[in-house]
C-alpha cells in the first residue's frame, strides 16, 4: 500500500474503522477504485503526525492554516473557541434525513473532534484563501510542480465502486467528472465532502458561488446531492480553459479567482 493508493482512492479500504486492517476481497491496490470516505485518511493522518512529530491539529495549523491566513479555520474547533465564536458557528444538516439541524454533528464534542478524515470547519472566505494560494502558484508554501502533480490526472478511466461512476482523480483532488454536468470544465479540480463544503477550482474564471442546503428533504438517488448544483453552475460558467503549467499558473499569466460550491451544511462559520 502506498500514499498514492490512498490519495487516488484505489487502496480498497473498508468504511468502518474496525475493518481498517482488512482490504476489500479480491482488491488489488491501484487496479480498482472506490472512494474512501474516512478510513484511509486516518492512515495518511497518522503518517503526517509521525513525519512532523506533532499532533495532527498542530501540523495543519503550522503548515497550512497560519501560512495561508486561515486563522478561524480548524480541524475540530476547541471548546474555548466555540464559546468565543458563539452563533458564528453554522449548523450542519443531513437533509436526506430531516429538514432540521443534525444534532450529533452540532454537539460541542463533535465540533471539537479532531478527525483526519474531516470535520474541517471555518469561514467560506478562508476556504477561498486555500484555493487562491493554489491559483497563485503556491505563494512559497507549495512549489508549482507540486500543485501540478496534485491536480493532474493520476487515476484515469477507472470505475469508482463507491460513486458507481467512472471518475478521474489527482492526488487527493477530483478532476473532470461528468457527474457535475455535460459542461464539466476539463481543467477544474476540487474536493467533495458531506455534510459540508464542495470546493471546485476553475482556472481563468472570476467566479465564486455558494449553495445553501435545501429546506425540505426529498427522495433522491445516491450521491445526487453532489451532482445537481455543479451541473447548474457548470452551465452558467462553462467555457474553454487552459491547463496550469509547472509554476501553477495559466499560460496567459492571468490570476483567476477560485470557484466554490457548498453542499448540505454550508460553511461552519458564518461570514
For 243-271, the pLDDT digits (tens) are 344 444 444 443 333 223 232 223 344 43
Residue 184 has pLDDT above 70, yes or no: no
Q: Is the pTM of this model over 0.85?
A: no
pLDDT greater than 80 at residue 160? yes
Report how far apart, in Å, the C-alpha atoms of 21 and of each of 12, 14, 26, 43 are: 10, 8, 15, 10
pLDDT over threshold 60, residue 168: yes
The answer as to whether 10 is a domain residue is no
Q: Which three cell numbers stand for residue 18?
A: 474496525
Distance between CA atoms of 148 and 170, rounded to whole angstroms? 9
Average pLDDT over residues 169-175: 88
pLDDT recorded at residue 165: 82
The verdict on residue 159 lying in a domain is yes
Indicate whether 216 pLDDT > 70.
no
In a domain, 54, yes or no: no
- Band the pLDDT of 58: cuts 50, 70, 90: very high
Domain encompassing residue 90:
69-263
Residue 58 lies in a domain: no
pLDDT in tens, 87-109: 888 888 877 778 888 788 889 99
Query: Mean pLDDT over all residues of the chain?
Result: 71
DSSP secondary structure letters along 221-245: -TTGGGTHHHHHHHHHH--------
Domain count, the chain: 1
pLDDT at site 166: 86
92 vs 179 pLDDT, higher one: 92
| Reported confidence tier of residue 50, pLDDT bands at 50, 70, 90 | very high
The verdict on residue 23 lying in a domain is no
Whole-number percent of the chain with pLDDT over 70: 61
DSSP bridge pairs for 130: none
At 203 the pLDDT is 47
Distance, in Å, from the CA atom of 109 to the CA atom of 132, rounded to the nearest integer, reads 31
- Asked if the structure places residue 89 within a domain, the reply is yes
| 205 belongs to a structural domain | yes
Q: How many residues does the chain have?
A: 271
The dihedral through the CA atoms of 212, 218, 222, 228 has a sign that is: negative
Per-residue pLDDT, 232: 31
Q: 180: cis peptide before it, omega within 30°?
A: no
CB environment 94-105: b (16+ within 10 A), e (fewer): bbbeeeeebeeb
- 239-249-35-39 Cα dihedral, nearest 10 degrees: -150
pLDDT (0 to 100) of residue 214: 37
Residue 177: the pLDDT is 59
Q: Kindly state whether residue 13 falls inside one of the protein's structural domains.
A: no
Over residues 228-239, the pLDDT tens digits come to 333 333 333 332
Does 206 score more than 60 pLDDT? no
Amino acid at each position: 500500500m502506498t500514499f498514492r493508493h490512498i490519495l487516488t482512492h484505489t487502496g480498497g479500504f473498508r468504511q468502518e474503522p474496525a475493518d481498517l486492517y482488512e482490504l476489500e476481497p479480491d482488491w488489488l491496490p491501484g487496479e480498482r477504485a472506490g472512494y474512501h470516505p474516512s478510513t484511509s485518511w486516518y492512515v495518511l493522518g497518522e503518517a503526517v503526525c509521525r513525519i512532523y512529530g506533532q499532533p495532527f491539529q498542530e501540523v495543519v495549523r503550522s503548515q497550512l492554516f497560519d501560512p495561508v491566513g486561515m486563522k478561524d479555520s480548524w480541524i475540530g474547533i476547541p471548546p474555548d473557541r466555540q464559546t468565543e465564536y458563539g452563533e458564528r458557528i453554522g449548523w450542519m444538516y443531513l437533509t436526506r434525513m430531516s429538514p432540521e439541524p443534525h444534532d450529533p454533528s452540532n454537539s460541542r464534542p463533535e465540533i471539537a473532534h479532531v478527525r483526519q478524515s474531516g470535520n474541517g470547519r471555518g469561514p467560506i472566505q478562508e476556504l477561498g484563501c486555500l484555493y487562491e494560494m493554489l491559483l497563485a502558484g503556491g505563494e512559497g508554501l507549495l512549489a508549482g510542480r507540486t500543485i501540478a502533480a496534485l491536480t493532474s490526472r493520476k487515476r484515469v478511466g477507472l470505475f469508482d465502486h463507491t460513486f458507481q461512476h467512472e471518475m478521474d482523480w489527482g492526488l487527493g483532488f477530483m478532476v473532470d467528472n461528468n457527474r457535475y454536468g455535460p459542461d464539466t470544465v476539463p481543467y477544474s479540480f476540487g474536493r467533495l465532502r458531506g455534510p459540508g463544503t464542495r470546493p471546485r477550482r476553475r482556472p481563468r474564471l472570476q467566479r465564486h458561488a455558494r449553495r445553501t442546503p435545501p429546506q425540505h428533504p426529498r427522495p433522491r438517488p445516491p450521491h445526487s446531492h453532489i451532482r445537481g448544483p455543479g451541473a447548474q453552475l457548470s452551465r452558467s460558467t462553462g467555457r474553454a480553459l487552459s491547463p496550469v503549467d509547472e509554476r501553477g499558473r495559466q499560460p496567459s499569466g492571468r490570476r483567476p479567482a477560485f470557484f466554490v460550491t457548498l453542499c448540505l451544511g454550508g460553511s461552519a462559520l458564518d461570514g
